[in-house]
Structures are given as C-alpha cells and as structure tokens.
A = this chain, B = another copy of it.
Amino acid sequence: MLRRMIIDAHGHYTTVPPGLRVFRALQISNMGRPVKGKVAISDDEIRASLEKGQLKLLDERGIDVMLFSPMASAMGHHFGNALISRHWTEVNNDLIHRVCALYPDRFVGVCSLPQSPGVGPRESIEELDRCIEELGFVGCNLNPDPSGGHWTGPPLGDEAWYPLYERLEKLEAAAMMHASATCNPAFHTTGSHYLNVDSTAFMQLMESRIFQDFPKLRIIISHGGGNVPYQAARYRALCLMNKWEPFEAFVKRLYFDTTVYNREAMELLVKVVGADNVLFASEMLGGVTTIDPATNRFFDDNKPCLDAIASLTDEDRRKIFEQNALRAYPRLGPILARHRREKTVGA
C-alpha cells in the first residue's frame, strides 16, 4: 500500500521572478492599446524562485504536492479591460505550467481566469479549456468580485455564471473561490476583502439553486470559509427561516480549506463542516508570512495545527490531507498516478 500523501490544496506563485512584473508594468504603459508582450523568465530563474521558497518549505514541512496557482492578489481583474486581463491571465497560467513541467511530482496547476468587470463569465471558458485540457491543470480560482471590492457584478447564483459552471462540471474541474486585491479603500486585501469574499460567496451559493442545477459542481471556499464555521448558527437559522436546504446538508456540497493557522479555528471548521469536506492547505506563500511568537513557527506552517486536533481519527486525517483533494479535483488522482509511474520507471 502506498503511504499517505500530503496534498496542499492552496498555494500561489508569489515568488515570481521580476520578469513577470516587468510584463505587468508594461500593461499600464500600453493600457490604451493592449499588446501581449513576451515574458522574459529563464528556467533557472523559476528554479531559484521556488527552491528557496515554496519547494523548500514543502520539503521542510513534509508536504508532497501543492496545487499551485498564479498570485491571487495580483490577478487584478479590475485593472484595465478584458483583453488586458486575458493577456495577463495567459502569461500567469503559462508560468504555472512551466513550474509544473519543471517539478511534475511537486506542483499541479490551478489556473486563474481572465475575468473582467462587466464581462460575462462565459468569456473565461476558452482559457479554462486551454488550462485544463492542454496544460493539464485540475481546476481554477474563481473571483466572485472581479471589480475588486466594488461588488458591481451579479452574485454567483445568477445565470450569467451558468455557462462557466456547466463547463467546469463537464471538465471535472474544481473552482476555488478566491478574491484578488481590492481597489476599494474600505477594504484591506488579505485582512478583510479576501474573507468578505469567502463569506459572501458562501452566502450567495447558499441562497442560490446552483447545486440543484449543477449537482456535480465542485467548489472550494478558501481561507477556512471566511466566517462560516463561527457564524454557523446564523446560517443555520437563515436556512430554516427561508426553507432552504438545511445548512448541515448544504455545507456537504462544498469544500473548505484549512488556511486559518490556528488549532481552535481548524477544530471548529472540522466540527461544523465535517472531515469529509475539509482540504488541507497552507496558502503559502500567502498573506501570513511571518513567525507566530506563540509557536515559533511560521503562521502558514499549519500542518501542526491539524496534527494537534486530538478528536481527528486516522481516517479523518487521511481524508483531509489526501482523499478529499482527490475527490474535489477528480483530475488530480490520474496525474499523480502517472507521475508516480514515470518516477518508478525513471528510477
């Protein structure tokens, strides 16, 4: 029997070489006449950016595989128009693809989408198809508020989103709800906007009929679900008052990651949504890249938080570290199996 794998379901390429920022800067210079320039980044630069960063930390923390996506705050869907968003998204996804090709047994790709305020989610399908079918990615990050904190778009239950859901379901690709930076001074990107988006996405889904219409749609709410486990009683009451599907049944339709960096919070999460619906994830390198003086570990070194939850059985741990991710991302299992075979043949 193979040993249990530890899959980290939420990591971003936040350590990108400067070539990508050069590309982005030139998008401002060319705002009025967008051109898709070239990204000048060598394989050595990619290796250096990861071997001192995410890869080193994966090794140190005993994590086998990370689902890897472009920098979330830098997706910046609110910047420029749909064509600018498309160019930027493509080069970011291509870069993730290069990472996955360099380290096929450590990183598996999750794409960002070329969303843009006022542009229908249908317009993201082409890039989703390319990433899933051509580049071998297993899912996408979906930004419920491409306006970056102005909340000008339709809620997730609106049928404007349906073509994208239909495609995700058909591709067996999962969508992690994840905001980008806010351009609204009312919010702090990682301190309030991300979490508002998580909680708001949850509420939009809960009052929608998405899962009646797309029963196999796979959605992950990031950052531990925002406020969901803590405010569960309020959500339970709303379901009862509105005669919606009971909260306890509804949360089983979703996955929640463990990026809350604290044992008590993780324990509440698992208690509220159940061990079948939690994906281990660190979000590294993400919003909390500093050492917690209470533990002397980096905040995002959060596997020990899960390890410390006494109430979890071995089976629960196996689900949270591995099996739930394989269920949430059906394309992941075959990819990992292929790499395992190739590694065995190569060894």
Q: Which residues does A use to contact B, with CB under 8 Å?
A: 145, 149-151, 153-155, 184-188, 190-192, 195-196, 199-200, 202-204, 206-207, 223-224, 226-227, 229-238, 240-241, 260-262, 264-265, 268, 271, 287-293, 299
What's the Cα separation between A234 and B231 when bound, in Å? 17
Number of copies of this chain that the complex holds: 2
Complex alpha-carbon distance, A203 and B196, angstroms: 11
Give the residue of B184, B196, B226, B265 whose beta carbon is less than 8 angstroms from that of A233: B265
| Residue pair B200, A199 in contact (C-beta under 8 Å) | no
Please name the residue on chain B nearest to A261 by beta carbon.
B233
Q: Count chain B CB atoms within 10 A of each CB in A227, A236, A240, A292 and give the residue with the most.
A: A227
Contact call B260/A264, Cβ cutoff below 8 A = no
Q: How far does the alpha carbon of A207 sit from the alpha carbon of B192 in the complex, in Å?
A: 11
Contact B237 A290 (CB under 8 A): yes
Is B241 within 8 A of A261, CB to CB? no
Flag if B188 contacts A196 (CB, 8 Å).
Answer: no
Shortest Cβ gap from A319 to chain B (Å): 22
Instruction: Pick the contact of A207: B191, B223, B235 (CB < 8 A).
Output: B191
Q: Provide the bound-state CA to CA distance between A200 and B187, in Å.
A: 7
CB-defined A-B contacts under 8 Å, sample of 17: A145-B186, A153-B186, A155-B185, A188-B238, A191-B235, A192-B199, A192-B200, A195-B227, A224-B230, A227-B227, A229-B230, A230-B265, A233-B288, A233-B299, A237-B290, A241-B289, A241-B290
